[in-house]
């Protein structure tokens, strides 16, 4: 069995402020990286509980890097943060996609650290008319390869967002969102135990979770926040709708900025 895991730094228990995830506060961020890495390791342990010979490949999906490599699970493999774009080395050889440390999409009420790709620039993304966050876009991407997205760990709003798209997904909610920078958290040890348990259940039931399918052609709509530039989207072939909105069309989802 082969599992691909996408991680982010906003979703673990005990992280609910943006300054905990950014390089401008390195000592604070280092604690967050430890919290995420321990949740990743718990997920890997859960996978291995169900499938001892599983190969687990983790992609560090946080912009400035979010994994403490010195504490990373010895039985997993890491794609460190660097120059990388979709599909993040995911391909048809994988049996499933897992998410750890996931946050909800931009604008989600009471969702801690909710954003879509960039907390500073993006107001929303839509894929074929449906508003999508990072989870949705990448789960659809996996679906084009017939890879099911079977597990998510993060805040309760992120888990609810995932279940709305993939009802059969296994979710581990490690904190309850109260506001953009406020949450009620499980203790780290409790969060890790929950993740390990649910990840094992997900691994044992991969065949019960269908891939998330959205047929091409794809129409990707990006709207940026007030005062932000759309030039990067235009350089990728985007059609200008207005000064803040661009549409990119493609038959290949990996050509889109997801």
Cβ count near 30 (within 10 Å): 10
pLDDT band at 9 (very low <50, low <70, confident <90, very high): very high
Q: What is the pLDDT of residue 120?
A: 95
- List, for residues 110-158, the tens digit of each pLDDT value: 999 999 999 999 999 999 999 999 999 999 999 999 999 999 999 999 9
* C-alpha distances out from residue 191 to 171, 215, 246, Å: 12, 36, 39
Percentages of the chain per state (helix, strand, coil), in multiples of 5? 30, 25, 45
pLDDT band at 215 (very low <50, low <70, confident <90, very high): very high
Cβ count near 148 (within 10 Å): 24
Q: What is the pLDDT of residue 146?
A: 98
Q: What is the pTM of this model?
A: 0.96
pLDDT band at 168 (very low <50, low <70, confident <90, very high): very high
Q: Where are the alpha helices (DSSP H) in the chain?
A: 26-50, 134-143, 156-165, 188-204, 231-235
- Alpha-carbon gap, residue 233 to 18, rounded angstroms: 25
Could you write out the DSSP letters of every residue in 8-23? -SSSSTT--SGGGSST
- Alpha-carbon gap, residue 111 to 105, rounded angstroms: 8
Secondary structure tally for the chain: helices H, strands E: 5, 12
Q: What is the pLDDT of residue 222?
A: 98
- Which residues make beta-bridge pairs with 239? 247
Could you write out the DSSP letters of every residue in 190-236? HHHHHHHHHHHHHHHTGGGSPPP--PSSEEEEEEEPTT---HHHHHT
- Mean local confidence (pLDDT), 78-100: 94
User: Quick check: 82 pLDDT over 80?
Assistant: no
- Mean local confidence (pLDDT), 56-77: 97
- Mean local confidence (pLDDT), 98-113: 98
- Mean local confidence (pLDDT), 36-54: 98
Q: What is the pLDDT of residue 250?
A: 97
Three-class secondary structure of residue 36 per DSSP: helix
As given in the structure block, the two tokens for residue 5 are 């895991």
Sequence-separated (6 or more) residues with CB below 8 Å from residue 190: 13
Percentage of the chain modeled with pLDDT above 90: 97
Q: What is the pLDDT of residue 81?
A: 82
Q: What is the pLDDT of residue 29?
A: 97
Q: What is the pLDDT of residue 165?
A: 98
Domains of the chain (ranges; CATH) run 2-104+134-211 (3.40.50.10780)
| Cis peptide, bond prior to residue 87, ω within 30 of zero | yes
Q: What is the pLDDT of residue 39?
A: 99
- Mean local confidence (pLDDT), 213-226: 97
Query: Which of 46, 33, 52 has the alpha carbon at shortest distance from 5?
Result: 46
Angle at which helices 134-143 and 156-165 cross, to 10°: 30
The mean predicted confidence, pLDDT, of the chain is: 97
């Amino acid at each position: 069995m082969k599992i691909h895991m996408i991680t982010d730094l906003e979703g673990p228990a005990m992280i609910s402020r943006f300054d905990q995830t950014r390089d401008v506060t390195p000592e604070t961020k280092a604690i967050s990286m430890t919290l995420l890495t321990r949740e990743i390791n718990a997920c890997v342990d859960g996978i291995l509980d169900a499938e001892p010979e599983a190969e687990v490949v983790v992609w560090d999906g946080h912009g400035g890097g979010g994994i403490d490599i010195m504490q990373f699970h010895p039985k997993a493999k890491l794609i460190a943060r660097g120059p990388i774009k979709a599909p993040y080395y995911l391909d048809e050889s994988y049996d499933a996609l897992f998410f750890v440390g996931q946050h909800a999409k931009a604008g989600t009420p009471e969702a801690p650290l909710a954003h879509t790709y960039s907390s500073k620039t993006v107001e929303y993304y839509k894929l074929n008319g449906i508003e999508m966050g990072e989870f949705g876009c990448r789960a659809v991407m996996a679906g084009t390869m017939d890879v099911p997205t079977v597990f998510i760990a993060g805040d309760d709003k992120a888990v609810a967002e995932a279940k709305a798209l993939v009802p059969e997904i296994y979710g581990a909610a490690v904190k309850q969102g109260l506001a953009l920078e406020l949450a009620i958290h499980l203790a780290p040890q409790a969060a890790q135990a929950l993740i390990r348990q649910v990840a094992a259940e997900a691994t044992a039931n991969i065949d019960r979770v269908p891939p998330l399918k959205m047929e091409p052609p794809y129409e990707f709509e990006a709207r940026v926040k007030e005062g932000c530039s759309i030039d990067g989207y235009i350089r990728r072939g985007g059609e200008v709708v207005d000064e803040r909105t661009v549409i990119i069309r493609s038959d290949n989802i990996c050509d889109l900025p997801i």
